[in-house]
Amino acid sequence: MMDWTDRHDRRFLRGISKHALLYTEMVTSAALIHGDESALLAHSSEEYPLALQLGGSDPKQLALAAKMGESAGFCEINLNVGCPSDRVQSGAFGACLMARPDLVAQCVEEMRDRVSVPVTVKCRIGIDDQDSEAALLDFVGQVAERGCELFIVHARKAILAGLSPKQNREIPPLNYERVYAVKNTFPDLGIIINGGLTDLDTAMAQLKHVDGVMLGREAYQNPFILARVDELFYDCQPNELTRHDVLHAYLPYVAKELADGTPLQHITRHLLGLFKGQSGGKQFRRYLSENAYKPTSGIDVLTHALELTLK
């Protein structure tokens, strides 16, 4: 979700679900330590509960980055060893680290020694020819021994040579059974399943086998899917908010950001899927896409786009 789940998107999603745990886009430990810490960790308390997702492979560097994240207020530090992009591989982290469970375990141990919040791991079910249930169980076992108590498992393997990140989200077949095997083998671990889940009924059914569900692209491209999450997963009263209510409630945040100099398109790009499948949805997306990028665009662009959904 790099370049997707930034602070504008998270603030928007929090207006739809109050309880779903949100994750930042992946931040590398090197960038955090040597770069603009305040910008990379920027968020507001209104986004909570919020986890920081880190990328890296240097245990001590990751430990320091984890401590920075905890100090900034994040409730969980997640180590990503599932991202298959070339950019990530060239930095010797992401999915390629699944070939080094010993190193991932060391990273987790160093991070846990520095923070009191949970340290979790997001991974794939395998990579390249390391694609067996036994290899996945060995990976999880080694990392769990060093203190990781929760794993988020994308139920596809990653093919590191020959497929783009987009293809790696679509071409390798889903294998939910392998994720279930992790839970059956390690019943005391928290196992969250990810990959290919596009509706909440299917997501709820996964709870017969695992402890939770992560939605990625679907929550971004169809954000109103989160409207029933609090009711179904957190035993809350039904959410009676409409899509219009959500956007109206978000407008004061947009106005403040515009006043602070944030370009409108940096915000509206996260809103394009709000009316997915609804009458006027195409007009809403088209109007934002054609007008939000203009230097003079203001909040009136959003209000007019909203009017198009009513017509």
CA angle (243 as vertex; 241, 249 as ends), nearest 5:
70
Helices vs strands, H then E, count in the chain: 16, 8
Distance between CA atoms of residues 162 and 195, nearest Å: 20
Active site residue 236: no
Length of the chain: 311
Considering 75, 83, 107, 148, which one is annotated as catalytic? 83
Q: What is the DSSP string of the chain?
A: -TTTS-HHHHHHHHTT-SSSPEEPPPEEHHHHHHS-HHHHT---GGG-SEEEEEE-S-HHHHHHHHHHHHHHT-SEEEEEE----HHHHHTT-GGGGGG-HHHHHHHHHHHHHH-SS-EEEEEES-BTTB-SHHHHHHHHHHHHHTT--EEEEESS-B-TTT--HHHHTTSSPP-HHHHHHHHHH-TTSEEEEESS--SHHHHHHGGGTSSEEE--HHHHHSGGGGGGHHHHHH-PPPP---HHHHHHHHHHHHHHHHHTT--HHHHHTTTTTTTTTSTTHHHHHHHHHHHTTSTT--HHHHHHHHHHHH-
Distance between CA atoms of residues 240 and 249, nearest Å: 14
Residues catalogued as catalytic:
83
